[in-house]
Amino acid sequence: MTVTTIERDFVEIDGRRLETAWLAPARPDASTIVMLHEGVGSVALWKDFPERLARATGCGVLAYSRYGYGASSLLEEKRPVEYMHHEGEVVLPAVLNHFAITRPVLFGHSDGGSIALIYAGRHPDAVAGLILEAPHVFVEDLTVTSIAGIKEVFRTTDLGAKLGRYHQDPDRTFWGWNDIWLDPRFKFWNIEAYLPAIRCPILAIQGLDDEYGTRAQLDAIQAATPATEIVLLEHCGHSPHRDQAAAVLDRSAAFIEALLRAG
Q: What is the largest CA-CA distance in the chain?
A: 52
Name the helix (H) or strand (E) containing 230.
strand 228-233
Q: Is 47 left (phi over 0), alpha (psi -120 to 50) or beta?
A: left
Over pLDDT 90: what percentage of the chain? 94
Statement: residue 73 has pLDDT above 60? yes
C-alpha–C-alpha distance, residues 118 and 165, integer Å: 29
Statement: residue 77 has pLDDT above 70? yes
Over pLDDT 70: what percentage of the chain? 98
Q: What's the DSSP call for residue 136?
A: -
Q: What's the DSSP call for residue 26?
A: S
pTM: 0.97
Statement: residue 4 has pLDDT above 90? no
Statement: residue 1 has pLDDT above 70? no
C-alpha–C-alpha distance, residues 89 and 153, integer Å: 33
Question: In this structure, what is the dihedral angle of CA atoms 61, 67, 68, 69, given to the nearest 10 degrees?
Answer: 0
Alpha helices in the chain (DSSP H): 49-57, 83-86, 92-98, 111-122, 141-156, 159-163, 170-182, 215-224, 240-243, 245-262
Domains by residue range for the chain, with CATH: 7-262 (3.40.50.1820)
The average confidence (pLDDT) of the chain is 97
With cut-offs at 50, 70 and 90, classify the pLDDT of residue 189. Answer: very high
pLDDT in tens, 114-135: 999 999 999 999 999 999 999 9
With cut-offs at 50, 70 and 90, classify the pLDDT of residue 224. Answer: very high
Rounded to 10 deg, the angle between the 245-262 and 49-57 helix axes is 40
Statement: residue 3 has pLDDT above 80? no
C-alpha–C-alpha distance, residues 164 and 226, integer Å: 40
